[in-house]
Structure 1
Amino acid sequence: MNIITTPDNTELFVKDWGSGQPVILLSGWPLSSASWEDQAMVLVEAGYRVISYDRRGFGRSSQPWNGYDYDTLSDDLAAVIQQTGAVDVTLVGFSMGGGEVARYMSRHQGKSVVKTALISSVLPFMLKRSNNPDGEEQEMFNSMIEDIKADRAKFFAGFFKKFFGIGIIAQPVSDELMQWMQSIAMQASLRATIECVKSFSSTDFRDELSAFNVPTLIIHGTDDKTVPIEISSREAAQGIPQAKLIEYEGAPHGLFATDKDMLSRDLISFLKQ
């Protein structure tokens, strides 16, 4: 098993597949690197080295009490880049993982990074404030945390229906895949699950968008009910200097599963440019 040890002695489970130009995939909340496996397979077959890892507190990584703020999480990413020897890296962040990309670009000056991609990302700022009037209400995130504390398994059963756009008629993913995602989410510690909600909901990345000094691909579904495109990727695309936004019409949040073939093609096309 590949393990990377961070400066605070947290052990991160890492998958390092293939060879060629490196692509690092960062998963969303409340998932692990397992959620990226469809794209990882396709990227390796296309000639890329694919590195993915489980965020601290999630999946097969260790579960410390602290370190779920974006400064520490970006330091974890820096440790992965340094200890794998990856250079000329493309960072791909899904949902919460987009925040780690942003904080790495600002806090670590984008060292070794040549491209970035943000998929269904939380950037630039989720929370409603007087200077962010279209954001989500604090009460929504407070309610999420209370529901997680009360019955985490029940919460995730409902959460993933919205995540994958499942409705009375729509069924873009199988029941079995839903169950798999719920099992991945339940691998995380309760502490990590809650603290990461606080981090991705309250961290303001607006001043960090200018730190993206490399070509950046942004992909987001127009029917995303988990991270609405209007308050996220459309705003991020305006603030990131070399950004290209691709909107998936009618698509929900979980694009790595609902639109996996199109997502893989768009990522490979971007990597080849």
Structure 2
Amino acid sequence: MTTTPETTHELTIRTDDGADLAVTVLAPLPGTPSSGDVVLVHGWAHARRAWGTVADRLIRAGHRVVLYDQRGHGASTEGRTPVSVERLGSDLAAVLAETGAREAVVVGHSGGGFAALSYAATSPSAGRLRGLVLLGTAAHGQDTPDSEVKMMGSPVFSRALRRPWLGRKLLGSTMAKGVDPIILDVNRQMFAATLPRVRADFFRCTRGWDLREALASVTIPAVVLHGEADKVIDIALAETLAGVLPGARFERVPDAGHMLPLERPHLAVSAVSELTSLASR
């Protein structure tokens, strides 16, 4: 990411249950017209670095960008309370408040989308958002099987992830065919760096979770993007999500899998631009 020390600010936000969230704030590049704030929320077993290309393009377009490691991921700690989607929505609320980004466009990928949707459905201040960009995510139907949760928490799986060739192969179904091997390995590295216990707890926490009814009253403009080759979250669930959000537009992404921030970063940037234009009318 081509930034200078003057345009990058690192901070730690302490949540009400004692989690320390590692946050990066990037100023727009000098000379670019101000285009508003964007907050990027990564998916499970990822980290802030998943947004590298997206963030770089956004600051070049004049946005101030806030990105953070979700609790237990990257440089963030876990906190005292058990992980839940509601807890992650509260974490996002803390990040928005402490960084002064209450009127941002929030971009959430996969589990980051769950956090964004939880915030939008429950927080009194959510109506101030300029929009939501939801990548490879859903509002229900995330009852992860015991076998998958067990695998995520397995030390054997973790050791396999640390072996580049094997790790890329194990995670191959998370992306479409033909993805650059460098991108495949970035994905592998983030999975491998996430503690097995954290992976298992996060994948377990959405059992029975369903926000569809609550989202029916959320009128924030939204763009829902989903890869046609996504094998992690069924595209039908994303279509349902777009159907229950009154202000949402749905777009299928051909030849793309689940990891849209890595596979199709330009689409996230275009969606932010679309929502920013709507908000400025």
Q: Shorter chain as normaliser: what TM range?
A: 0.7 to 0.9
Counterpart position of 1:113: 129
Could you say what secondary structure the match of 1:269 adopts? helix
Using the TM superposition, give the Cα deviation of residue 256 of structure 1 relative to its aligned residue in structure 2, in angstroms. Answer: 1.5
Deviation at residue 73 of structure 1 after TM alignment: 1.1
Q: Give, in whole Å, the separation in 2 of the partners of 1:209 and 1:75.
A: 16
| Cα contact 1:86–1:112 (8 A) shared by 2 | no
Deviations 1:1-28 (A, max 9, x none): 4111111121100011114411111101
CA offset at residue 227 of structure 1?
0.8
Is 1:246 equivalent to 2:257 in the alignment? no
1:177 aligns with: 183
Task: Identify the residue that residue 10 of structure 1 maps to in structure 2.
Answer: 19
Q: CA RMSD in A?
A: 1.9
Which ranges of structure 1 fall in alignment gaps of 5 or more residues?
A: 128-137
> CA separation in 2, counterparts of 1:96 and 1:179?
20
2:198 aligned to 192, 200, 213, which one?
Answer: 192
Partner of 1:59: 74
Q: 1:205 aligns with which of 208, 211, 215?
A: 211
The code of the aligned residue for 1:115 comes to G
Q: TM-score, normalised by structure 1?
A: 0.86
Bigger shift: residues 258-267 or 26-35:
258-267
Q: Name 1:130's counterpart in structure 2.
A: none
SS at match of 1:116: strand
Give 1:223-242 correspondences, 5 Å limit. Answer: 223-230=229-236, 232-242=237-247
> Is the 1:105–1:111 Cα contact (8 Å) retained in structure 2?
yes
Larger displacement relative to structure 2 (76-85 or 262-271): 262-271
What letter is aligned with 1:39?
V
Say if 1:59 and 1:188, in contact at 8 Å, map to a contact too. Answer: yes
Residue 221 (structure 2) aligns with: 215
- Displacement of 1:148 in angstroms is 2.4
What fraction of aligned residue pairs are identical, expressed as a percent? Answer: 22
State yes or no: 1:99 paired with 2:114.
Answer: yes
- Secondary structure of 2:232's aligned partner: coil
Q: Which residue of 1 aligns with 2:264?
A: 259
How do 1:121-160 and structure 2 match up within 5 A? 121=137, 123-127=138-142, 141-150=145-154, 151-153=156-158, 154=160, 157-160=168-171
Give the C-alpha shift of residue 254 in structure 1: 1.1
Question: 1:159: Cα distance to partner?
Answer: 4.7
Q: For 2:205, what is the secondary structure of its paired residue?
A: helix
Instruction: Tell me, in whole angstroms, the C-alpha distance in 1 between the residues paired with 2:136 and 2:58.
Output: 19
1:270 aligned onto 2:270: no
SS at structure 2 position matched to 1:98: helix
1: CA distance between counterparts of 2:185 and 2:140? 30
- Say which SS state the counterpart of residue 200 (structure 1) adopts: coil
Determine helix, strand or coil for the equivalent of 2:200: helix
With over 3 angstroms needed to count, the CA separation of the structure-2 counterparts of 1:158 and 1:211, relative to structure 1, is: farther
Residue 31 of structure 2 aligns with which residue? none
1:219 deviates by 0.7
Question: Structure 2: 5+ residue runs without aligned partners?
Answer: 1-9, 29-33, 162-166
The DSSP-based 3-state class of the residue aligned with 1:16 is strand
What is the TM-score when the length of structure 2 is the normalising length? 0.84
The answer to whether 1:84 aligns with 2:99 is: yes
Alpha carbons of structure 1 residues 65 and 143: separation in structure 2 relative to 1, 3 Å = farther
For the Cα contact (< 8 Å) 1:16–1:52, is it kept in 2? yes
Residue 27 (structure 1) aligned with residue 39 (structure 2): no
Report deviation, 1:95. 0.7
The equivalent position to 1:72 in structure 2, one of 87, 91, 104, is: 87
Distance of aligned partners of 1:186 and 1:47 in 2 relative to their CA distance in 1, 3 Å threshold? same
Following superposition, the deviation at residue 84 of structure 1 comes to 0.8
Q: Give the drift of 1:40.
A: 0.7
Distance in structure 2 (CA, Å) of the matches to 1:186 and 1:111: 37
Answer whether contact 1:102 1:208 (CA < 8 A) is retained: no
Query: Aligned equivalents of 2:207 and 2:273: distance in 1?
Result: 30
Which residue of structure 2 lines up, in the alignment, with residue 161 of structure 1? 172
Provide the C-alpha distance between the structure 1 equivalents of 2:168 and 2:149, rounded to a whole number of angstroms: 15
